[in-house]
Structure 1
Amino acid sequence: MVIDLHNMTCNDAIRFFITKYNELYKNGYRGSIEVIHGYGSHGEGGVIKKRLRKFLLENKSSLKFTINANPGVTFVVPVKAIPQMKNEISKDILEFCRENPKSLDKIKGNFFKKYTNREILATVKSLVKKGELESFFKKNHEVYLAK
């Protein structure tokens, strides 16, 4: 079984991986999945590889993974379904806003390479609505602080 993440943005690659992994898991597949992410020959040093492996470490209760001699491949064995990526953006924003209040512009500026403005805005609104992020004004600017 192979999941190829070539020619995707980092976020799209992670989402695609999660979707395909969960489909395989749901259909009863428990063998090794060869995840082809490339090794970073385009000057960015393997952005997808780094993000994927970080994601795998963060979800190690849901899977097992091994790195072999080929730096462009990671092998993954499903243990249970992986939560969708929307949980990751929520965790990131809450962690970023934990110590000091942050404006929406600061939040966007910190995560613009990882998430779209639309994803950031929707997540901030959702976190405020759920009471996990507090919204208030500081020097005439709306800021957000994790509760």
Structure 2
Amino acid sequence: MSSIDLHGKNWTEALAEFIDCYNRVVPSGSAAAATLDVVHGYGSTGAGGVIRTRLRAFLSKYPQCLEYQPGESVDGNQGHTLVKPMQRLPDTGGLLAEQVWEYCETPRTVSKITGKFRRHGDPQVQQAIRTLERQGRLRTVSKGRFKEYEAA
């Protein structure tokens, strides 16, 4: 069983490291998948840490790529999650789309979205928006005369 420890990282770093590690252990051909033990901690408040909560939400979006079990259902430890890889996950280029999708839980205009993710550059942000629209994960809503994007 492979293991990865995400303690002390912010969500962006943790997700990028998880995807990189995950894609390295994905089986090729008919090889059996090794389980990946993702150690994220349980959160200092006990109500569920940011990484634990977001990681599990992220994993639930990819049932065709993986199976996962919260640690508390396996051994009572809520500080880790067991992941069984089946297919590769989108690389960190897809990470921008994931971040845009999360940001659009509240409807946002294109200018708000591109402003938030300006370090990636407008073309990449707009490409992420188009990709999410094609996947049906982002929809347009009208708010007065403004066109906004909302996570579906």
Q: Report the TM range for the smaller structure's normalisation.
A: 0.5 to 0.7
**Under a length normalisation based on structure 1, what TM-score does the superposition of the two structures give?**
0.67
Deviations 1:83-114 (A, max 9, x none): 122331354567765xxx72523x378xx6xx
Does 1:37 pair with 2:47?
no
| TM-score (normalizing by structure 2) | 0.65
Unpaired segments ≥5 residues, structure 2: 134-138
Tell me if structure 2 keeps the 8 A contact 1:90–1:123: no
Aligned equivalent of 2:49, options 38, 46, 50: 46
CA RMSD of aligned residues (A): 3.6
Which amino acid in the other structure matches residue 86 of structure 1?
L
Write out aligned runs for 1:1-147 (5 A).
1-25=2-26, 30-41=33-44, 45-68=48-71, 69-84=76-91, 85-92=95-102, 102=109, 104-105=111-112, 107=113, 116-119=117-120, 121=122, 123-126=124-127, 145=148
In structure 1, stretches of 5+ residues that fail to align are: none
What secondary structure, in the 3-state scheme, does the structure 1 residue paired with 2:84 have? Answer: strand
What is the identity percentage for the equivalent residue pairs of Structure 1 and Structure 2?
A: 30
Runs of 4+ in 1 over 6 A off after TM superposition: none
Contact 2:66–2:83 (CA<8 Å) still a contact in 1? yes
Amino acid paired to 1:64: E
